[in-house]
Amino acid sequence: MSKSFPAPHKPRYIQAEFLRARGSAVMWLPCAAFPLVTLTYFLSGYTAPTTDATGVLMWQTMYLTGIAAPLMAIFALSAEQREAHARQGGTAWLPISQPAQRCARFCVAASSVFAFHVFNFGGSYLICVFAQRAHAERIAFLGCVAFLASLGVLGVASAVARRTHLVMTVVVFIAWQIIGTVTAEQLGNGWVFSPMAWSVRAVLPILGVHYNGVALSPDDPLTVESPWVAVSLCIVLAVLGVIMAIITPEKSPGRAARRTKHGTPPALSPIDESATVPAGVYRPVSFNRRRPAHFHAAVIALNRALFKPAIASCLGLSILLLATVAVVYPASYVHGLWTFTLLPIGCGVLPVLAWQSLSKAWALMYMENPRCASALLMWLGLCIGVMSTVASLAGVCAGGTRGDECRRWLLSSIVGFIICVASLLIAVFVSYAAALVLTVVLAIVSLTLGGDVLAHSALWMAAMPAWVEIADTSARLIRAIPTAVLLGVGLGFAAQYCLGKAVFKLRK
């Protein structure tokens, strides 16, 4: 009698994906909502101390029109990069459905996005209820609409992140957010033909503000516009995004074997028989101990390792953009572009790209030459100094005064170094996604607090990247420069110590 074997179980894609996501950035990214809720509530109480939820709603504009699309891209990027680094966990060689696996990955990422919106808008709703503010239910309705609007962006971002890399994904969805926010009103009725504007247009009537955060007037057409047309379009985009996330294949792995010009593997070198040691002959072990290379040699070596196409292209495009704006527009446009966009975002992304190139070899590098930690900080500081010099020269060419540009150069170099070191430490000890979230949130907060009337209030100290623009008086300079120098020096010494500890973290 033949022995019968039980039938194999069907693959449990959702359960397997939750196991993969456990402990990864996808699981803790929803916690980014807590500082956002706190900031929204306190800023609304400081600037609009009303008895209803209007102030809280207006400050949610900072998220919905400023960082929603890049943040959804980071959610998708975290899941896709985790699988790419793990080489799909070996599932590419198993008899499972790849589309079903991609669908499960999207569902888990969407559940993380749902948790983020629950924490963000649910937390704001509970705060308004406990504070007995009227119309708190509008916050809950806004959260539902915002979640529906985010699904389409999440699906498209999953497809883009799967086929490209970190920089491309972040840049694409920063541009998505900027274009969508501007075209939501500037195109008139043409916003219907701009998918990037659908999510912004859906929330503007509920928020009661224009795309730039200004409150709607009673006779404005947006006050009586129904959001359901835009919500319907967002649902269509969500369906298309899910389809893109499922059918977009992974990048094929590169060829592992190195080939010569004629397509044959390189020949092995012959063994020198005269170099072998006869059996039974004792020879004492000798060590050739060399002193570590000089500091400048470590900086040069790091420059060769780090100046790869990703970093070189970002620096080159930033220089080209500054030069173009300086030729076409006055100095104020150059200052705004540098202070509110290139400085915070560039200084946050640069260490992430650098650590991606160095992380696998960092333990060996540090044991060979402990000066590489200081060399890495020096290399990052040199990049920031060069870009600050380019921004100041562009400002002079656009009509800025030399004294003002020198002040901007000094503050840009110090503040940029602080942002860069903070992003590096978060990328090393937490994750790349956390560093990118910090970068995007910091850029929007600095633009919000330093780009309008709040720059003249006591809140200007909280907008550190905007100090380049708003620390323009002697009283503010006396407070800004010593604070920035002390913080930069402290972070520099802390980074040297922590990068040494990172050796033991990476060897586990």
pLDDT (0 to 100) of residue 424? 94
Strand partners, 192: none
The two tokens of residue 260 are: 């010569």
CB 352 within 8 A of CB 432: yes
Confidence of residue 10 (pLDDT cuts 50, 70, 90): low
CB 56 within 8 A of CB 133: yes
Stretch among 93-102, 148-157, 386-395 having the lowest mean pLDDT = 93-102
SS3 267: coil
Read off the amino acid at residue 45: G
pLDDT in tens, 372-402: 889 999 999 999 999 999 999 999 999 889 9
How far is CA 468 from each of CA 56, 94, 391, rounded to the nearest angstrom? 28, 55, 12
Rounded distance between C-alpha atoms, residue 452 and residue 178, angstroms: 18
CB 213 within 8 A of CB 103: no
Residues 237 and 318 in one domain: no
The two tokens of residue 337 are: 């572009």
Residues 243 and 383 in one domain: no
Number of domain units in the chain = 2
Answer whether residue 267 is part of any domain.
Answer: no
**Is pLDDT larger for residue 109 or for residue 258?**
109
23's CB contacts (< 8 A; 6+ apart) are none
Rounded distance between C-alpha atoms, residue 34 and residue 166, angstroms: 25
Confidence of residue 144 (pLDDT cuts 50, 70, 90): very high
Residues 236 and 377 in one domain: no
State the residue range of the domain holding 323: 295-506
**Is pLDDT larger for residue 359 or for residue 453?**
359
Residues 228 and 333 in one domain: no
Answer whether residue 127 is part of any domain.
Answer: yes
Read off the amino acid at residue 40: T
Confidence of residue 457 (pLDDT cuts 50, 70, 90): confident
The dihedral over CA atoms of 440, 442, 448, 450, expressed in degrees to the nearest 10, equals -140
Answer whether residue 1 is part of any domain.
Answer: no
Answer whether residue 282 is part of any domain.
Answer: no
User: Does residue 248 carry a pLDDT above 80?
Assistant: yes
Answer whether residue 150 is part of any domain.
Answer: yes
The dihedral over CA atoms of 255, 257, 262, 267, expressed in degrees to the nearest 10, equals 170
Answer whether residue 275 is part of any domain.
Answer: no
Residues 32 and 164 in one domain: yes
81's CB contacts (< 8 A; 6+ apart) are 161, 166, 432
pLDDT (0 to 100) of residue 264? 54
pLDDT (0 to 100) of residue 65? 87
User: Does residue 470 carry a pLDDT above 50?
Assistant: yes
Residues 349 and 206 in one domain: no
CB 225 within 8 A of CB 205: yes
Rounded distance between C-alpha atoms, residue 384 and residue 171, angstroms: 19
Q: How far is CA 390 from the centre of its chain?
A: 24
Answer whether residue 283 is part of any domain.
Answer: no
Q: How far is CA 142 from the centre of its chain?
A: 25
Rounded distance between C-alpha atoms, residue 380 and residue 491, angstroms: 13
Rounded distance between C-alpha atoms, residue 203 and residue 451, angstroms: 22
Residues 233 and 349 in one domain: no
Residues 101 and 231 in one domain: yes
Residues 240 and 329 in one domain: no
Stretch among 335-344, 408-417, 499-508 having the lowest mean pLDDT = 499-508
Residues 217 and 80 in one domain: yes
**Is pLDDT larger for residue 267 or for residue 105?**
105
pLDDT in tens, 24-80: 888 888 988 888 888 777 777 666 666 677 777 777 888 888 889 999 999 999 889
Rounded average pLDDT over 421-428: 93
pLDDT in tens, 252-309: 655 444 444 555 555 555 555 555 555 555 555 454 555 556 777 788 888 888 888 8
pLDDT (0 to 100) of residue 346? 92
217's CB contacts (< 8 A; 6+ apart) are 223
pLDDT (0 to 100) of residue 289? 52
SS3 255: coil
SS3 134: strand
**Is pLDDT larger for residue 319 or for residue 288?**
319
Residues 337 and 209 in one domain: no
427's CB contacts (< 8 A; 6+ apart) are 351, 352, 355, 434, 435
pLDDT in tens, 38-50: 877 777 766 666 6
pLDDT in tens, 403-424: 999 999 999 999 999 999 999 9
Residues 185 and 302 in one domain: no
Answer whether residue 281 is part of any domain.
Answer: no
SS3 210: coil
SS3 253: coil
pLDDT (0 to 100) of residue 287? 47
Stretch among 174-183, 427-436, 442-451 having the lowest mean pLDDT = 442-451
CB 139 within 8 A of CB 168: no
